Homo-oligomer: A and B are copies of this chain.
Amino acid sequence: MADVPENAPEHCPGTTSEQAGKSAPCQGCPNQKLCASGATKAPDPAIAEIGEKLSTVKHKILVLSGKGGVGKSTFSAHLAHALASDTTKEIALLDVDICGPSIPRIVGLEGEQVHQSGSGWSPVYVEDNLAVMSIGFLLSSPDDAVIWRGPKKNGIIKQFLRDVDWGELDYLIVDTPPGTSDEHLSIVQYLSATHVDGAIIITTPQEVSLQDVRKEIRFCQKVKMPIIGVVENMSGFVCPKCKNTSQIFPPSTGGAEKMCADLKLPLLGKVPLDPRIARSCDEGRSFLSEVPDSPAAEAYQKIVKSEFVFRKTPTQMSIVQSVTIKGQNKSCVT
């Protein structure tokens, strides 16, 4: 699914397109014969293997946002913690943020390592019923940079889905990096032979954030990923001294509320800024059990227990996307 290799001619139609090997720019390209043979259009066999492997996972939820730093990893970790509080359920949390894996720190597993077993890589456990996988467990030091272009990131995501011994799961939560690029296309592609409940979209109230989030919503629509709902984080800050509420990231265009109304999406809830959330994440403890009666913890609990998150209609996704850049007539890479 590379579609357009780096060494492709300028108007390469993409190695998986119908025109691969046949269009004018293909003339003289070293890959022309290969593309024309149809070999590049064959689906990756890993998709079927992953479909088989994850057939024992009842629910799959992706946590997405076009914007970075809005609390995707914090939400993912706390959703996993909240689901795992029912000890009859088996939960797993997969971090596909390859260049900025925050999950090991947030769930208190920094420095842990993955072990190889007969049935694949073993995830690392936070609780008996909460398994975690992240590239952070494969690095020699938490400060190591993973300086990888897309294909290697896609390769490790494939391994996380295919080669990890996930076992039987009730919920698989997938935390993602910001954007609408390799990691997002790959996770959708690799899960395309399974059923996915949908995506929870995280934002903050200001327009600069919502703008990127609307792009992520477009992405979901294009790949036919159902949207479970939207969570607004950093929604107001109550001064601990005088109890005055400040909008630190002001919802100048109406915040998530207006966006959800415009786009007809459920707003799952608004979580206020609370310094204890960031501190708990830094210290690898669950904010929900540290300060369970805080307004932020209550907002979180309400969201993760909402009917939207628990709905029972996993859906098959598509992997057809296109975007037009003005005057360029370029379609997107899948």
Task: Give chain A's interface residues, CB within 8 Å of chain B.
Answer: 1-8, 15, 30-31, 34, 39-40, 66-70, 73, 98-100, 102, 105-106, 113, 116, 135, 138-140, 142-155, 177-182, 184-185, 204, 206-209, 211-212, 214-216, 218-219, 222, 237, 239-242, 244, 246-250, 252-253, 273, 275, 278-279, 281-283, 321-328, 330, 332-334
Nearest B residue to A185 via CB reads B149
Say yes or no: B99 contacts A180, CB within 8 Å: yes
Q: Find the B residue at minimum CB distance from A279.
A: B250
Please name 15 further chain A to chain B contacts, defined as beta carbons within 8 Å, in addition to the given A67-B69, A98-B181, A106-B208, sorted by A numbering: A2-B5, A4-B149, A99-B180, A138-B326, A140-B326, A143-B218, A145-B222, A146-B332, A147-B333, A148-B332, A152-B330, A206-B278, A239-B241, A239-B244, A253-B282
A147 touches B3 (CB 8 A): no
A34 and B40 within 8 A (CB): no
- For A153, the chain B residues whose CB sits under 8 A away are 181
- The oligomer's copy count stands at 2
A28 → chain B closest CB, angstroms: 12
Which one of A147, A178, A239, A330 has the greatest number of beta carbons of chain B within 10 Å?
A147
- A181 contacts which of B149, B244, B328 (Cβ < 8 Å)? B149
Chain B residue at minimal CB-CB distance from A182: B149
Nearest-neighbour CB distance to chain B for A6, whole angstroms, equals 3
Could you say which residues of chain B place their CB within 8 Å of the CB of A155?
A: 4
Q: Which residues of B contact A250 (CB under 8 A)?
A: 275, 278-279, 282
Partner of A100, one of B138, B215, B333: B215
Whether B222 contacts A249 by the Cβ 8 Å rule is no
Query: Mind listing 29 A-B residue pairs with CB under 8 Å?
Result: A3-B6, A5-B151, A66-B99, A69-B69, A116-B327, A138-B325, A139-B326, A142-B211, A143-B211, A144-B323, A145-B218, A145-B323, A146-B215, A147-B184, A147-B321, A147-B323, A148-B332, A149-B182, A149-B334, A237-B237, A239-B246, A240-B244, A240-B246, A241-B244, A248-B278, A249-B275, A250-B278, A250-B282, A253-B282
